[in-house]
Structure 1
Amino acid sequence: MLKKFIPVLAVLGFAAAILFISIFRMSASAKPSFAAASLKFNVSSPSVTPSFEPTQTPVPKSNYYLVYPGMLPDQPLYKLKMIRDKIWLALTSGSLKRSEVLLLFADKRVGAGDVLIKGNKVDLGLTTLTKGIKYFERAVTEINSAKQKGMQTEEMVSKLQNASLKYEEVLTDLQEQVGSESKTYLENLVKLIKDIQTNLLTS
């Protein structure tokens, strides 16, 4: 009688062993899945660290309008224009009048430099802009001299201030259209303009 149950018991034991092994494998495979799920949760919920990017101070806009530059330095007859300007300045007497003429020359050079750089003549444009800022610096020197002589200079000082803001605006806009080396050059010109502004306001 007992012999009849031995095969049955063997089959049941074998089935139980298979069931146990299957359960063990499932539990073992479930652990990595849980870990992966936990990892996925952690990655999908990173801690956010606020970042602060430096912002550039916007250049104040000026309602000052540059005069039409006329003949440009890359044109054949431009040298005649330079000779004319030198004669014009030599014949102008008085610090206030000379300041006005020098500002006109500065306006024309800054306007011409702007046109040249936008026309892809960057080197010539930078040279022309530099000459314009130098003329502007001389205009400020003349107006400071007029102040010391007791002349009425308020209107001209205001005009020079507005012009300097316009120059700064033009040069800052041009920085987006040139390479890194030329951009640095323009940045230095802007610094020079700011120094001249300080000289204008403190003298």
Structure 2
Amino acid sequence: MKNEKLKNIFLVFAALVFALGILITSVVRTTALTTSPNYKIAPVKATPTPTETVKKPVEYSLAYPGPILPGHILYPIKMVRDRIWLWLTVDPLKKAEVLLLFADKRLGAGKALIEAGKEELGASTLTKAGKYLESAVKQEKIAREKGKDTQALLERLSRASLKHEEVLLEIKGKVGETAKPVIESCLGYVRWAQQQVRQILGE
């Protein structure tokens, strides 16, 4: 019994060390929260009618979600890493940036899962993307109220919310009827974020 407890403690400790290692690596790779220049979500493709104009794709590059997506055996460790990262980020402005990064990654992951035929899991992941985006906007408000200069972040949030909407509308046209209400719910998060940011920017 004692050996079994020691074994369990060791396994938990090893998992935490591994998660911390991934966290440190991620922080180093995403210094200043730069995104991969080689990864872009494909814009919505639509055939224009004679009276329809082609909407210009939103110029915003989404962060690469990585090879470990929801459903992968190692994904729980990735989630632990994200929670530790967020917990260690005390500055409200930086926390908002981290939340936006998580939102972008969940959006890319959800799209990839749906394209791989995992519609239910993909829709669930897209919901998390919407919630992270909402949290990023709320965190920006906290940072602004503390006297932080959030102008650059607001402009990023504006472009990000438009990109999220673009991707979600593309996905909505591909999923079955069961998933469509979930995508609509995700669009609700995105459009709320757009409204909040526009009000602050005075657009």
Are 2:85 and 1:88 equivalent residues in the alignment? Answer: yes
Q: Could you list the per-position Cα deviations for residues 57-116 of structure 1 after superposition, in whole angstroms to 9, with x for gaps in the alignment?
A: 987631111111011011100000000000011111111000011111111101000000
Structure 2: gaps spanning 5 or more residues: 1-50
**TM-score normalised to structure 2 length:** 0.69
| Larger displacement relative to structure 2 (79-88 or 173-182) | 173-182
Deviation of the 1:187 alpha carbon: 2.0
Are 2:133 and 1:136 equivalent residues in the alignment? Answer: yes
Question: Which residue number corresponds to residue 161 of structure 1?
Answer: 158
Aligned-partner Cα distance in 2 for 1:60–1:196:
21
1:72 to 63, 69, 73: 69
**TM-score normalised to structure 1 length:** 0.69
Identity across the alignment (%):
45
Aligned-partner Cα distance in 1 for 2:119–2:178:
11
Aligned-partner Cα distance in 2 for 1:58–1:106:
27
2:144 to 143, 147, 163: 147
Question: Which residue number corresponds to residue 102 of structure 1?
Answer: 99
Q: Could you list the per-position Cα deviations for residues 12-40 of structure 1 after superposition, in whole angstroms to 9, with x for gaps in the alignment?
A: xxxxxxxxxxxxxxxxxxxxxxxxxxxxx
1:181 to 174, 178, 181: 178
Distance 1:56 1:194, change over 3 A: farther
Aligned-partner Cα distance in 1 for 2:88–2:53:
42
Distance 1:59 1:75, change over 3 A: farther
The letter for the 1-side match of 2:69 is L
Structure 1: gaps spanning 5 or more residues: 1-54
Which of the two has higher C-alpha Rg?
A: 1
More helix by share: 1
Distance 1:184 1:177, change over 3 A: same
- Aligned residues: CA RMSD: 2.0
Aligned-partner Cα distance in 2 for 1:132–1:56:
30
CA contact (8 A) 2:127 2:182 kept: no
Runs of 4+ with deviation above 3 angstroms: 55-60
Deviation of the 1:181 alpha carbon: 2.6
CA contact (8 A) 1:59 1:168 kept: no
Question: Which residue number corresponds to residue 113 of structure 1?
Answer: 110
| SS class of match (2:173) | helix
Distance 1:115 1:56, change over 3 A: farther
Aligned-partner Cα distance in 2 for 1:154–1:178:
36
| Larger displacement relative to structure 2 (58-67 or 148-157) | 58-67
CA contact (8 A) 1:60 1:165 kept: no
